[in-house]
Structure 1
């Protein structure tokens, strides 16, 4: 089995805009399998030897024939994200290691599964949605996705289509800066409504900024979700 902590060289196979600030990058497939929700580390090395490293969640399902997909958001003053946004081209060799992380779900874990994502925190949850569709379509799953504006929603078309066409998958999309939900945040009413629709979740996954994750995790516990059933992934301040 491949060593997930060994750095290896991989090649960019495709680059596609996802939103104005996010691009989808397809790389060579990993040496070994991964679980939906895990991440990889990416390392860049400058000619003078300076190195910069960052972790990115995997958006693709295990075994995707199109290769490994990362969705990378351009961040202000981001060394690694700036490279991918402005410099990276198809055919470039990139150092990568992984997959790693216990924030993961697979078909054998069952459900119901409640996913809650904020901004680009939806990426590992998207992998779980895709994994369910491919290998466990009978598992009930609901995604609550909070984004500022419609134009910033990652995979909006795909998620909307899955919610419309796939029995047992539901999407609640909250836009906090525009439309009828402007100014609203994920609250207890929204969590209660999701649980009423889904049933008490066997697994809950929450991903986003620190404050977002802390607030949502507390709401889930208050709504009766077992703390041991809640897994979180945090980024930023």
Structure 2
């Protein structure tokens, strides 16, 4: 697949360690993709081109423009994110492949309730999915988001507003290093994400599908726990971040 030009058009600091980067694909009028897919960038961090390839989930649904929002966390020892946070700026031109990936919701009306379990920037594909599907589906969506402290909550106001607006959406936040807060639209918990879904879905149901996204340790643990509860493997769908 050919590499195409991608120009950074906007940068926004989301949390102390996370930024959103809006990339424009100037070779087309609109960027077509399915929510849940990712963009692979080529970053100038090595003499070997392949060593600079990094994939990031698209964090917003298609809007008819030729831009995509990527939600990226700066890694302490990450050459790619060090470049994006220190060497790149608005106007920087990169190379990107066409959107790819199969971590997407089924096409057509959904028949099973959707439980989205994630940590950190693993929330990005779920935000895109919710933007596109929440208002037109009759099934229930439950987003369970884990992070360390309240200042690390990505898209906090947006998801809380959705929970107030839609009766078929529940928004739970697990804070591992912060006290539980009180806020309309958010179901707060102290600790990690695992006790949240184990509490709410302890009784095995055939009408639910779990989508997991984030670092491999969390995803592997969630998959193990859900299967131990008695859920079928086809009810647990995962996207790993490393």
Which TM-score applies when normalising by structure 2? 0.84
| 3-state DSSP of counterpart to 2:43 | strand
The 1:151–1:113 alpha-carbon spacing in structure 2 relative to 1, beyond 3 Å, is: same
Deviation at 1:100, TM superposition (A): 1.3
Q: What 5-or-longer segments of structure 2 have no aligned partner?
A: 181-188
Q: Which residue of 2 aligns with 1:86?
A: 86
Deviation at 1:223, TM superposition (A): 3.1
Aligned partner of 1:212 among 215, 218, 221: 218
> Quick check: 1:106–1:131 contact (8 Å CA) kept in 2?
no
Deviation at 1:145, TM superposition (A): 0.7
Aligned partner of 1:186 among 163, 173, 193: 193
Pairing 1:159–2:159 present: yes
What is the distance in 2 between the residues matched to 1:201 and 1:159? 23
What is the distance in 2 between the residues matched to 1:225 and 1:72? 32
> Quick check: 2:60–2:124 contact (8 Å CA) kept in 1?
no
> Quick check: 2:31–2:65 contact (8 Å CA) kept in 1?
no
What is the distance in 1 between the residues matched to 2:129 and 2:21? 18
What is the distance in 1 between the residues matched to 2:166 and 2:87? 38
Pairing 1:235–2:226 present: no
Q: Which residue of 2 aligns with 1:226?
A: 232
What is the distance in 1 between the residues matched to 2:192 and 2:167? 27
Q: Give the aligned CA root-mean-square deviation in angstroms.
A: 2.5
Deviation at 1:202, TM superposition (A): 4.0
Q: Which residue of 2 aligns with 1:77?
A: 77
Deviation at 1:222, TM superposition (A): 2.8
Q: Which residue of 1 aligns with 2:185?
A: none
Q: What 5-or-longer segments of structure 1 have no aligned partner?
A: none
What is the distance in 1 between the residues matched to 2:224 and 2:76? 30
Task: Write out per-residue CA displacement over residues 163-185 of structure 1, whole angstroms, 9 at most, x where no aligned residue.
Answer: 12122111111001110444x32
Q: Which residue of 1 aligns with 2:184?
A: none
The 1:220–1:137 alpha-carbon spacing in structure 2 relative to 1, beyond 3 Å, is: same
Q: Which residue of 2 aligns with 1:112?
A: 113
| 3-state DSSP of counterpart to 2:108 | helix
Deviation at 1:142, TM superposition (A): 0.5
What is the distance in 2 between the residues matched to 1:42 and 1:209? 19
The 1:60–1:200 alpha-carbon spacing in structure 2 relative to 1, beyond 3 Å, is: same
Deviation at 1:58, TM superposition (A): 0.7
Task: Write out per-residue CA displacement over residues 121-179 of structure 1, whole angstroms, 9 at most, x where no aligned residue.
Answer: 11112211212235x24331111111111111111111111112122111111001110
Which TM-score applies when normalising by structure 1? 0.85
Task: Write out per-residue CA displacement over residues 15-61 of structure 1, whole angstroms, 9 at most, x where no aligned residue.
Answer: 11111111111112576521111111110236x85531211011111
Q: Which residue of 1 aligns with 2:183?
A: none
What is the distance in 2 between the residues matched to 1:200 and 1:13? 44
